[in-house]
Amino acid sequence: MAGPERQHDGFVPGRYPIDAYGAGGFRFAEMSHRGSILALPSGVRAWEVTEPAGITPASLRPLVEEAGGIDLLLLGTGADIVFVPDTLRRFLKEAGIGLDVMQTGAAARTYNILMAENRKVAAALIAVP
């Protein structure tokens, strides 16, 4: 079987660079995924968020569950950079996670660089057309 084992809940275990983004999804681990993703230390998972307004403490729960392995969250907010409410910033700070907000493309590229440096980084990436 080529590529990593894929689980049925939209989760691919392991750390992978983002090979491509656009057309409403992402390519990583020799697979393509339509929709947004969370790239966490444990693996890459489907993320139900389709627009910045959907970024909430509840939507970031999988990230916070792995907070011990994450120093920085790169938040890709789509084609545009958007304001992140202070409540969300405080939520992440209380979990010990720093936050950097940028366009999805920049966040994916930055994630690849920091991951290659073996940094404790995660990415929450909203898919772009």
pLDDT tens column, 67-99: 999 999 999 999 999 999 999 999 999 999 999
**3-state SS of the chain: helix, strand, coil percent to 5?**
25, 30, 45
Is there a contact between 129 and 25 (Cβ–Cβ < 8 Å)? Answer: no
Alpha helices in the chain (DSSP H): 61-64, 86-94, 104-116
DSSP 8: T
pTM over 0.85: yes
* 50-66 tens-digit pLDDT: 999 999 999 999 999 99
Band of residue 6 on the pLDDT scale cut at 50, 70, 90: very low
11 DSSP β-pair partners: 45
